[in-house]
Chain A
Amino acid sequence: SQQGEEDPQALSIQEGENATMNCSYKTSINNLQWYRQNSGRGLVHLILIRSNEREKHSGRLRVTLDTSKKSSSLLITASRAADTASYFCATDSLSGGYNKLIFGAGTRLAVHP
């Protein structure tokens, strides 16, 4: 099952520009996490924001969380060609007696030199 949607599905920008990806979810959460995946490879954990936090920074990454709207955004500033990857949000919530991580549909980011 998937928790929600991400938009845009695909994003193409030039190096140096900022990239913003949005994620919406449906149920209450413990935290929300963002992951990166290069084509055909494993996941890289980027950042975790707890349900009682509204904003978090890590290097060039900025994540916001609005629990009233059940949405989050990931901003990558001053993008680089190496940022080209798929980005997924994942919500950590209690379901069926277990804490599960459910992924959004993902945004494919292409950063052109």
Chain B
Amino acid sequence: GAVVSQHPSWVICKSGTSVKIECRSLDFQATTMFWYRQFPKQSLMLMATSNEGSKATYEQGVEKDKFLINHASLTLSTLTVTSAHPEDSSFYICSARPGLGGREQFFGPGTRLTVL
């Protein structure tokens, strides 16, 4: 089956630093990748959609300068949380859709970010 990995699985950082999270599709090419954020005991909120080689499309209310997304290849998307603050502490989950018009979406295991 299609596998999506995330790295790191957890990270603790100091307030004001930037953190990069990687999302990789291991055995398929992902034209489109998605980033979600999940606060404790809440649902997944879609942050942005990224297509390989183009700028990400951010959902309403998500600061694009705060959450930098790069989808440089068909197997890798990165999310950088810039100048992280404690309120950015959350569970970040990526997902990937293979090919063009693919319906299935495969999820990574998530990255837990804690900002002190």
Interface on A for B, CB 8 Å cutoff? 1-2, 30-31, 40-43, 45, 48, 88, 92, 96-106, 108
Total A-B Cβ pairs within 8 A: 56
Q: Which range contains the number of B residues in contact with the other chain?
A: 20 to 34
Most buried by A among B44, B104, B109: B44
Contact A103 B44 (CB under 8 A): yes
Contact B43 A100 (CB under 8 A): no
The listed residue (A88, A92, A98) touching B32 by CB distance below 8 A is A98
Q: A92-B103, A96-B57 are in contact. Are A2 and B34 (CB under 8 A)?
A: no
Q: How far is the CA of A55 from the CA of B72 in the complex (A)?
A: 40
* Closest beta carbon of chain B to A22's beta carbon, Å: 15
Which chain B residues in 50-93 approach chain A with CB under 8 Å?
A: 57, 59-60, 91, 93
The listed residue (A1, A31, A41, A45) touching B60 by CB distance below 8 A is A1
Most buried by A among B36, B43, B44, B112: B43
Contact B43 A2 (CB under 8 A): yes
Q: Is the interface of A mostly helix, strand, loop or mixed?
A: strand
Contact A101 B32 (CB under 8 A): no
Q: Does B95 contact A (CB under 8 A)?
A: yes
* Closest beta carbon of chain A to B79's beta carbon, Å: 16
The listed residue (B46, B91, B104) touching A100 by CB distance below 8 A is B46
Contact B109 A101 (CB under 8 A): no
Residues of B contacting A30 with CB < 8 Å? 103
Contact A99 B103 (CB under 8 A): yes
Contact A31 B107 (CB under 8 A): no
Q: How far is the CA of A14 from the CA of B27 in the complex (A)?
A: 40
Q: How far is the CA of A41 from the CA of B91 in the complex (A)?
A: 9
Q: How far is the CA of A41 from the CA of B108 in the complex (A)?
A: 10
Q: How far is the CA of A106 from the CA of B34 in the complex (A)?
A: 19
Contact B45 A1 (CB under 8 A): yes
Contact A41 B110 (CB under 8 A): yes
The listed residue (B34, B59, B109) touching A42 by CB distance below 8 A is B109
Q: A41-B110, A42-B109, A98-B49 are in contact. Are A31 and B103 (CB under 8 A)?
A: yes
